[in-house]
Amino acid sequence: MAEVTVVVNFTKTARAAFNALVGALATHVPDPRLHITVARTHQALDDILIRASTDTYTVVLWSFYSPQFNLARAHLQRIKLHTDSPHIIHLAGGVHASAEPHQTLRAGFDYVAIGEGERIIIDFVRALLADQSPTTVQGVAYLDDEHLRRNGRGELVDLNDFPPFAPQHHLFGAVEITRGCIYACKFCQTPYVSKARFRHRSVENVAHYARIMRAQGFRDFRFISPTALSYGSADERVNLDAIETLLSAVRDAAGPDARIFFGTFPSEVRPEHVTREALRMLKKYVYNDNLIIGGQSGSQRILDTSKRGHTVEAVVDAVRLCIEEGFQPNVDFLFGLPGETPLDAEQTMTLAQTLAQLGAKIHNHTFMPLPGTPFKRAAAGTIDTTTQDAILRLESHGQAYGKWKSQLQTAQELVHIRNEDT
């Protein structure tokens, strides 16, 4: 029987994914022949692989978003120059690998995990522990003489069956309370990886992990959700009772001095969900004095063609209510969406300026054609000079921020990567 060492190629952007994957392994594969280590730097990963034993399998876990694919590919190629061995297995997962498995495998990764990873990594490691090939594992893709072979997608999981992090390996972080999203915006990868329906972690389960974090000395508690005020709901309706029950339970579990962050990074709220009742309820429990609101465009036409599912007026109303109830609204805008005309861009910039005058901060982004989305074949997002100048003026007054400039370049890179396979 074999031994397996799982090496987490830890990156900040994949922190939540790795926390969950290591937690799944630690909980569901309690085998003394399984060893888990975390490499937090490139040098640490190099050192681990150089010392890797030829008597065991060493599985390196990779997870990256589409804008990071080129960096991950270059890193892998550099590693393989001096640590290439049949006993070292590079397994890539995440939204890009799931959407583009052939491209990811051609970059040099040995296997790809398609879809949700908890069950895949458990079955993958169990196969290796039994000295069996992981090629039959559901959700695993690989190359066979340059031809893509895939075993469907990973199983959609019940969040309550898996921990959100791995206390056994001192990996803690935000608790994922909802996976999947019914709104299926055409530019977003979330609903196309985790399906367009909500799956919620139970209140009891969230409180359990809040107690674990508190026992470890943590005071700040954050949550992962594609739309925070959808917790406890199966559709477009807001279930404030469910949200209040959740926050109250976390408060009881974490203690009176705990700092609860809800509706801020790494989650946001939809503008039509922002009501006076909701804000006043949040005020009773949350520490954050700001909310992230997904506005995206000031053009109703663009909102409709992107399947956002809300109106421009809802964004304005949400900002007004936040200001009145003592929350600083941070509004996301996405410039260069497919089909955007100069008039659409002008309407979006006008809305951003109006909201800034009301007291909002504007978080600007450039559209990127992300694999796995309905807009994956769209042109790279662009921002005309007039709009760029207007954004810069808002930034100079402290009313706007964002990585829209670097995203202009990243959008072009994504198109180039996409064209490599055509």
| Residue of 287 and 2 predicted with greater confidence | 287
Can you tell me the distance from the alpha carbon of 335 to that of 159, in angstroms, rounded to the nearest whole number? 34
Tell me the pLDDT tens digit for each residue of 305-314: 999 999 999 9
Token pair for residue 176? 């994922």
The region of weakest confidence among 78-92, 137-151, 292-306, 344-358 is 78-92
Residue 194 in this model has a pLDDT that exceeds 80: no
What pLDDT is recorded for position 190?
Answer: 83
196 pLDDT band, cuts 50/70/90, is confident
- Count of other CB atoms within 10 angstroms of residue 81: 7
Stated as kind and residue range, the H or E segment containing 99 is helix 95-99
Q: Any idea which residue has 């995440």 for tokens?
A: 94
Tell me the pLDDT tens digit for each residue of 27-55: 999 999 999 999 999 999 999 999 888 88
Tell me the pLDDT tens digit for each residue of 50-70: 988 888 899 999 999 999 999
219 pLDDT band, cuts 50/70/90, is very high
Query: C-alpha dihedral over 22, 71, 111, 79, to 10 degrees?
Result: -90
Percent of the chain with pLDDT over 70: 100
Mean pLDDT of 111-117: 97
82 pLDDT band, cuts 50/70/90, is confident
Residue 150 in this model has a pLDDT that exceeds 90: yes
Token pair for residue 396? 């100079």
Stated as kind and residue range, the H or E segment containing 335 is strand 328-335
193 pLDDT band, cuts 50/70/90, is confident
Residue 248 in this model has a pLDDT that exceeds 80: yes
133 pLDDT band, cuts 50/70/90, is very high
What pLDDT is recorded for position 420?
Answer: 82
Tell me the pLDDT tens digit for each residue of 353-394: 999 999 999 999 999 999 999 999 999 999 999 999 999 999
Percent of the chain with pLDDT over 90: 91
Token pair for residue 193? 């990886």
Can you tell me the distance from the alpha carbon of 249 to that of 245, in angstroms, rounded to the nearest whole number? 6
Mean pLDDT of 127-141: 96
Stated as kind and residue range, the H or E segment containing 175 is strand 175-176
Provide the mean pLDDT of the chain. 95
By CB atoms closer than 10 A (0-12, 13-18, 19+), residue 45 is: buried
Candidates 73, 119, 79; CA nearest to 92 is: 73
Q: Which domains does the chain have, with CATH numbers?
A: 4-150 (3.40.50.280), 174-288 (3.30.750.210), 293-422 (3.30.750.200)
Candidates 110, 103, 101; CA nearest to 139 is: 101
Mean pLDDT of 77-84: 88
What pLDDT is recorded for position 40?
Answer: 94
Tell me the pLDDT tens digit for each residue of 314-349: 999 999 999 999 999 999 999 999 999 999 999 999
Residue 180 in this model has a pLDDT that exceeds 90: yes
What pLDDT is recorded for position 169?
Answer: 94
What pLDDT is recorded for position 422?
Answer: 61
Residue 205 in this model has a pLDDT that exceeds 80: yes
